[in-house]
Amino acid sequence: MNDASNTQPAAVPATPSGFRGTAPAVPGDAAPQADAPTLLVKIFGRDRPGLTAGLFEVLAGFGVDVVDIEQVVTRGRIVLCALVTVPPGRDSDGALRVTVHTWAESMKMQAEIISGVGDNRPRGRGRSYVTVLGHPLTAASTAALTALITGSGGNIDRIFRLAKYPVTAVEFAVSGADHTELRSALSVGAAAHGVDVAVVPAGLQRRAQRLVVMDVDSTLIQDEVIELFAAFAGCEEQVAEVTAAAMRGELDFEQSLHARVRLLAGLDASAVDKVRAQVRLTPGARTLVRTLKRLGYQVGVVSGGFTQVTDDLKERLGLDFAAANTLEIVDGRLTGRVVGPIVDRAGKARLLREFAQQAGVPLSQSVAIGDGANDLDMLNTAGLGVAFNAKPVVRAAADTAVNVPFLDTVLYLLGITREEIEAADETDGATASQG
C-alpha cells in the first residue's frame, strides 16, 4: 500500500466519475462555485511507496487546490485520482500536463488529465447500502444484481469489498433509488442467483449504537436444545417431528412446546449439565458477539428453548439480555411442565421491545436474527430482521437473509469489514479458533 493510505478519505464515497465533493468556495461565498474549471488528474500502474507524495509534489509546484481525492489499490495496482483547480497563469495548464506525464513515465506509471467545469453532478436522492454475500460471488450474479440496481433507478456511487473469506462480501453505495423498491427487486434477484443481499438506508443511524437480539436454537447454536434433552429421555424422534412442524409454522408453538416437554417427564435433572456440555456454538458466534460488544452494542437472546441453557450462554458470552422458557424441576427430576410465561412468537417480539427500552435504543436501531416461524414477529419488529439459514417462509418475510453457516457474516451487513474484525482480535489477543 502506498503512503496515501494514511490520508485517503475512506468514508467519502465516489461517483462513477471518480469523486464526490464540492468545488472550492471563494471566501465569503454562500455556496461552492458550480462552474469553476477543474482538472481530473489520474495515474495508474504498479503500486509502490511514495506515489501519492510524488504526484502532489508535482501539483504543488503549480499552486493548485485539491477539490477531491480518491485511490484504489487492487492486487498491487493503484488508481489514484485527484480533482484540482486549474493552475493560475495562461500557459500553466499545458505545463502541468507535461510535467505530470513526465513524472508518471519516470515512475513507470500512466497518466490521464481531463479538463472539466465544476465538481461532480449531485448524488441522487435516496441513498442506500447494498451488501452482497457470495459463496462464491460470481460474475453472473454480480451482473444481474447491478442491472437490478440500475433498473430500480439507482446509481452505484462506490463499490467496496468488506471481506474475502469465509464468504466474499461486497458493499455498493447506491443513490437515486427508492429504498423499499430497491430491496424488493434485489431480494428476488438474490434468490434467483444464490447470493445474499441486504439493503439498508444510508445515514448516521448506521453508525449509531444498536441492540442485536438473536434466536438461540439453530441460530446462536447449532442444536435444538429440546432434542438434546429428548436424546437423554429416549424420545428424540417424537420430539424432532413436533419441532420440525412447529418451525414450519404448521403447529401452534405453545401447544407444540407443551407436547414436547411432556415427553421429558421423569428425566433426571443431571441431564441439564450434560445438555449444556453438548451445546455447539454456530461458527462465528463468538466473533459476532465479541465484535458487537467492542463497538458498544448491547446483545441479547430470546429463545423458545430453556433458561437452563440460555442463562449459561449469557454468562459464557457476556450477553446483556437473555429470556427463554423454564423447565420445571421437582425433587431432582423434570416434571414435564414449564413454569412462567411462555416465550412464543408474540413473546419474542415483546421481549425485543422490552430489551430495546432497557437498552435505551430505539427499535429502528435494533437488529433481530432468527431462523424459524416463531421468530417472524421479532424479525418484523426490529429495524433490521435477518433470516439466518432460515425456513422458506421466514426468508420470504425477513428484510434480508443469510444462507451461509457463519454467524459473523451478519457483521458485514452492518458495514464492518473482515480486516477490522481481525485487527481488533489481534490487538486483544483473540484467535480465530475462538469462533
Classify 394 as helix, strand or coil: helix
- Cell output for 146: 447491478
| DSSP β-ladder status, 298-306 and 384-388 | unpaired
Phi, psi of 24 (to 5 degrees): -60, 140
Residue 195's alpha-carbon distances to 136, 170, 274, 403, in angstroms, are 8, 11, 38, 8
Sign of the torsion formed by the C-alpha atoms of 237, 386, 434 and 432: positive
Residue of 157, 196, 215, 377 marked active site: 215
**Active-site annotation holds for 375:** no
- CA 184/CA 192 separation, integer angstroms: 13
Phi, psi of 123 (to 5 degrees): -70, 145
Neighbours of 124 (CB within 10 A): 15
Residue of 47, 217, 371, 408 marked active site: 217
- CA 371/CA 321 separation, integer angstroms: 19
Query: Residue type at 248?
Result: R
- CA 258/CA 282 separation, integer angstroms: 27
Query: Residue type at 261?
Result: V
**Element housing 228 (H / E):** helix 225-233
**Active-site annotation holds for 215:** yes
Could you tell me if 209 and 361 are in contact, meaning their C-beta atoms sit under 8 angstroms apart?
A: yes
- List b or e across 275-311, with b for residues whose CB sees 16 or more CB atoms inside 10 angstroms: bbeebebbbbbbbbbbbbbeeebbbbbbbbbbbbbbb
Active-site residues, by number, are 215, 217
